[in-house]
Amino acid sequence: AQSVTQPDIHITVSEGASLELRCNYSYGATPYLFWYVQSPGQGLQLLLKYFSGDTLVQGIKGFEAEFKRSQSSFNLRKPSVHWSDAAEYFCAQGRSNYQLIWGAGTKLIIKP
């Protein structure tokens, strides 16, 4: 069965430092991959997505992700985090009928 793994339940990063959130997927010759952010009281917001083409994807809020087929990974990165980036981040993989398979999420904590 398809599954998406986010190995880190939470990550603490100092403000201004770089960030990498890990995501591994288990299925799909050409996976459709997404990163979403969930802030308290707000709906899930799409940061970026990968369907095909350039394996380095640029998203909103300064985030990027790189698709690596050989590693079945789609890690999210940001060169310098801001306190407002503190939130829960979810990696997801699309399957037929537009359904999404979700990772367990990674909570990002920002140290001042």
Partner 1 sequence: GAVVSQHPSWVICKSGTSVKIECRSLDFQATTMFWYRQFPKQSLMLMATSNEGSKATYEQGVEKDKFLINHASLTLSTLTVTSAHPEDSSFYICSASWGDEQFFGPGTRLTVL
Q: Which residues bind partner 1 (CB under 8 A)?
A: 32, 36, 41-46, 49, 51, 90, 94, 97-100, 102-105, 107
**CA nearest neighbour of 63 among 108, 111, 102, 5:** 108
Q: Which is nearer to partner 1, 48 or 81 (CB)?
A: 48
Residue 79: its H or E element = none
Shortest Å, Cβ 42 to partner 1: 6
Shortest Å, Cβ 80 to partner 1: 25
**CA nearest neighbour of 91 among 11, 34, 38:** 34
Only one residue has tokens 């979403």, namely: 36
Shortest Å, Cβ 9 to partner 1: 8
Q: Which is nearer to partner 1, 58 or 70 (CB)?
A: 58
C-alpha distances (whole Å) from 16 to each of 5, 21, 32, 56, 84 are 26, 16, 30, 22, 11
Shortest Å, Cβ 100 to partner 1: 7
Tokens of 21: 């959130």
Q: Which is nearer to partner 1, 18 or 61 (CB)?
A: 61
Q: Which is nearer to partner 1, 11 or 100 (CB)?
A: 100
